[in-house]
Amino acid sequence: MRNIKLEIEYDGRKRCGWQVQPRKISKKPSVQESLENTLGKILQEKIRVTGAGRTDSGVHALAQVANFKTNSEIPVRKLQLALNGNLPKDISISKVEEVALSFHSRFKAKSKVYRYTILNRAYPSALLKGRVNHLRYPLDVGLMRREAKDLLGRHDFSSFRASGGQSQDSVRRIKSIRITKNKDLIHLEIEADGFLYNMVRNITGTLIEIGRHRFKKGELKKILLARNRRLAGPTAPACALFLVGVRY
């Protein structure tokens, strides 16, 4: 028995997310489903792939991590070539390696990093469409940075949690949060030991409202402590969110 670790890049626009969903819930395929079907054909055995995180419908990944166990002796290099030759074009395998049988992509992860990108200018981009959130109105990035510092550390993030999540515990630790601007692009990057359902998109939507001066200075901390989703900003669109890495 071998344990194989994959690093995966995917475009989430035509996907219902990472996890397999019943067809009555979504007619779009999941990334997990396409991987398992393709691996099954290549290895001639039933494969169950475990992902490090469950990205939502429309969310992309630069470096999702997953693992599966197999009896096949196929070399990892040949497996990578076979996967990239047979997977749908919106999924690519950037790395394949054999790891210890004890490795679990989800439970061994120490943190995950997500990046949200805003295109902040008067006109949209023909090339970045579907990968950024285009906002025409100006944003006060300095104020967004200052307010975001209140999210650092271990907190109950119920105010930024969407209904429908499976976790019973709303406490998470945000290790770092950076907001950078490069010309017309604003990047919000968050590293945490875990994320609640829609947590990054709800934090982003709230910070956008702060950047528009729709919330007063100091309001983000009050929203966090209130543990009330209704007080926070709207959920930012999924198209601009990327899982950029998983750290072990």
Tokens of 90: 């919106």
Q: Which of 11, 56, 90, 150 is catalytic?
A: 56
Distances (CA, A) of 10 to 22, 79, 92, 116, 155: 21, 18, 6, 15, 31
Please indicate whether residue 11 is annotated as part of the active site: no
Sign of the Cα torsion 229, 190, 10, 55 reads negative
> How many Å apart are CA 193 and CA 71, to the nearest integer?
32
| Helix segments in the chain, DSSP class H | 31-43, 76-86, 141-148, 199-211, 219-226
Torsion of CA 96, 102, 108, 113, to 10 degrees: 0
Residue 14, Cβ neighbours under 10 Å: how many? 12
CB 177 within 8 Å of CB 188? yes
229 Cβ contact partners less than 8 Å away, ≥ 6 residues apart = 158, 159, 160, 161, 162, 163, 202
Instruction: Give 29's DSSP letter.
Output: P
* CA proximity to 188, closest of 247, 139, 154: 139
Catalytic (active-site) positions? 56
